[in-house]
Amino acid sequence: MASDPRAGMDAVESANRAALTKVRQVRPQWSGVAEARRALPLPDWTLLHAGPPFEDPRDPSPPILSSAVLCCLYEGWARNEEEAERLISTGQVRMLPAQSFSVVTPLAAVISPSTALAEISDAANPGHRCWSLLSSGSGPQIRFGSRDPAILERLYWRDRILAPALRKGLATRPVALLPLARLGLEAGDDLHAQTSHANTALCAAMPSTLPVEVVECLGNTPLFFLTLWMGACHLMLAAAAGEAGSSLVLALAGNGRRVGLRVAGDPARWHTRAAPVPEGPRISASAVPVSPMVGDSGVIDAFGLGAQAWRCCSGVAEALAPWWPNPAEASPDWLIGAHPLFEDLQLPIGLACHRVTADTDLPRVAIAMVGGDGRAGLLGRGLCVPPASLFLG
């Protein structure tokens, strides 16, 4: 007798309800700051990158290669760019996906042993935690995937000055992240392309004993909250990992060549396709091609915010209107649940892979554009539409 397809669908829906129950129980908090070498079981001479594994880790995409080169210089593994490239191309320095270590990292940022990471833990279950890159403030950024030598100075400042001060400040009072996210959403943030209001709330929640230069860094970096919220979304979704039969998306990320997702029912497996190229307004007249999608921050959009929240965050949507004219008209049937903190804002959560079909509007990711040459750095805000086959396959 042929199996009843409706029974199979009912089983998936039931598994997804169970998965979302676990997601809703997580209470993410920023609980600490630590060096990657102390926080992670990181093998020697290893760097971590965003997205799925590279087909050949000795040949990473140009933006990630540039960030990896800078990390080799920063760690003292190489004296110049040529030596660093040789270490990577010969496999002496290994490139591994950050998510294999319960870490998320934005755009083309690469994590090395000295990198300061933000610890995001579950106030309801302190043993459940993950890590995210600690922002280095304003100025040149490793996440933009260039070889600007000024980035090395920012890394030093982040790891030697910013990180110790924040570690001390958080030691006695972790910062709950869901209330800050709620405040940001109420004020118009989508919590991916824009986190300025949530960041203001974060600044108000930090200990008053922080050094002036650290307070100024947080206040002058509207996207400082972003990597914390990436970690929060990763932590909440990771609670559903291993829920048999669930199609809930745990990760939606790119490595500059492939875009990939992982689902709760089979969390260790990456489903990948060729990465699409984000589109959006450029900050200059540069003709440098845009890199295909890169970064782990699509976890925010998979959770249900970011571009999925543009139906409510009109200010963010206006800048990308030529590339998505009517986000308010989108009907995301693949967002299948609600979070009690966001439900009254009409913001559903939980991207269910099996609900995406050839006939539905596709999920989108609000992700910045960086130079595909690995030199130009940030090119502008962007919007990315992963291929339908990624969800259908």
Q: Do residue 255 and residue 209 come from a single domain?
A: no
Q: Are strands 116-122 and 28-35 parallel, antiparallel or unpaired?
A: antiparallel
- Give Cβ neighbours of residue 73 (< 8 Å, ≥ 6 apart): 79, 80, 81, 84, 152
Shared domain for 64 and 212, answered yes or no, is: yes
Split into its structural domains, the chain has a count of: 2
Residues 213, 89 share a domain = yes
Q: Are residues 219 and 255 in the same domain?
A: no
3-state secondary structure of 54: coil
Distance CA 29, CA 44 (A): 30
Shared-domain flag, residues 216 and 304: no
Q: Does residue 208 form part of some domain? A: yes
pTM for this structure?
Answer: 0.97
Looking at the structure, do residues 211 and 259 belong to the same domain, yes or no?
A: no
Q: 281 and 139: one domain?
A: no
Contact yes or no for 76/29 (Cβ under 8 A): no
For residue 356, give both structure tokens: 């995406």
For each of the chain's 393 residues, which pLDDT tens digit applies?
A: 345 556 577 899 999 999 999 999 999 999 999 999 999 999 999 999 999 999 999 999 999 999 999 999 999 999 999 999 999 999 999 999 999 999 999 999 999 999 999 999 999 998 999 999 999 988 899 999 999 999 999 999 999 999 999 999 999 899 999 999 999 999 999 999 999 999 999 999 999 999 999 999 999 999 999 999 999 999 999 999 999 999 999 999 999 999 999 999 999 999 999 999 999 999 988 889 999 999 999 999 999 999 999 988 878 889 899 999 989 888 789 999 999 999 899 899 999 999 998 788 899 999 999 999 999 999 999 999 999 999 987
